[in-house]
Chain A
């Protein structure tokens, strides 16, 4: 028996209701307004100065990436694996976005080295956070856009192993096995290196911002180059700041 008009209408109404529910569910999963709607849209953003509008962070998609001297090809300066030596996905701070090519700050010596990577070999995210570290005043400030959201006391490098000034970014977040050890509860690796130590503790002399087991020593030159903060401050950073967050160290 063929369905009556009434039955058809009921079926149509049911289909429409299901479609509307599906559309509503799909709409709920769209990105918040402050995130790039798509990777392509993010890649089209020109410039990445790190002001109130935020910066872009590139995360390598494959198991490695070629870094070139110029956009559009040219000499391969470095081939960097992903994940990095600590098993964390390789990230870069994007300094300039030219669509197909991105100029990125590299976690290599000498400090401040940049290179170019293809934008289709990375995924892009963004953050409005940045960290300013004043080694002269022994103070750090975290800014969200133009707003100061956290400040605290720091310990810096001693006379022979100073904390080098420059622009860096967080490369990984580690949780040391002993939370009461010298690195405290968390340690954010930086993209920069000591300028006086080629190696340290079996590592490459990499700088970091980390907690401490001696908070009384904050406000002084106590480290071999790393920036020490209280465990409370590093915990806040670990809960709020993404990898790739820019860190400006000045004296």
Chain B
């Protein structure tokens, strides 16, 4: 059980550390490099019927789209942070041997 918790925490930590750069060395010489402008030439662009959604892959994303992406990334980061914090609280509670509170209406002598 403890080992499982350690592995979960280690998994989250690894995801947080390496999540942004999952590429293997052999997959790209320079993973951070932007696509070459020449790929966006008229010849390379797929025909509208081939592209499905009809969007131009070389189109520069609008500010709105960028903001949306940023918000989404922030949300994801926040969710990950919360999950890690909850995991940490759970671990501390287990280490302290503290019980999980049972939601119930007490009928003690007050």
Q: Quick one: given A28-B6, A29-B6, A239-B93, are A201 and B107 in contact (CB under 8 Å)?
A: yes
Q: Which residue of A lies closest to B92 (CB)?
A: A239
Of the listed stretches A45-53, A64-72, A202-210, name the one at the interface; the rest are far from the partner chain: A202-210
Q: Which B residue sits closest to A200, measured CB to CB?
A: B109
By the criterion CB–CB under 8 Å, are B110 and A186 in contact?
Answer: no
Report Cα–Cα, A226/B107, bound state, in Å: 11
Interface stretch of the complex, out of B45-53, B62-70, B96-104: B96-104
- Across the interface, A200 reaches (CB within 8 A) one of B98, B99, B107, namely B107
Q: For the complex, what is the distance from the CA of A173 to the CA of B102, rounded to whole Å?
A: 6
Q: Cβ of A197 < 8 Å from any Cβ of B?
A: yes
User: B17 at the A/B interface (Cβ < 8 Å)?
Assistant: no
Q: What chain B residues lie within 8 Å of A208 (beta carbons)?
A: 106, 108-109
- With A206-B109, A226-B108 in contact, do A175 and B98 touch (Cβ < 8 Å)? no
For residue A199, which residue of chain B has the nearest CB? Answer: B107
Which listed residue, A176, A189, A203, A242, touches B98 by the CB 8 Å rule? A242
Whether the Cβ atoms of B97 and A125 lie closer than 8 Å is yes
Beyond A88-B99, A206-B109, A241-B98, 20 additional pairs, beta carbon < 8 A: A87-B104, A157-B109, A172-B102, A175-B102, A175-B103, A175-B104, A176-B105, A177-B105, A183-B108, A186-B101, A187-B106, A201-B110, A207-B108, A208-B106, A210-B108, A226-B108, A238-B98, A238-B99, A239-B93, A240-B96
Which residues of B does A touch, CB under 8 Å? 2-3, 6, 93, 96-110
A-B contact pairs, 5 of them (CB 8 A): A88-B102, A200-B109, A202-B107, A206-B109, A238-B98
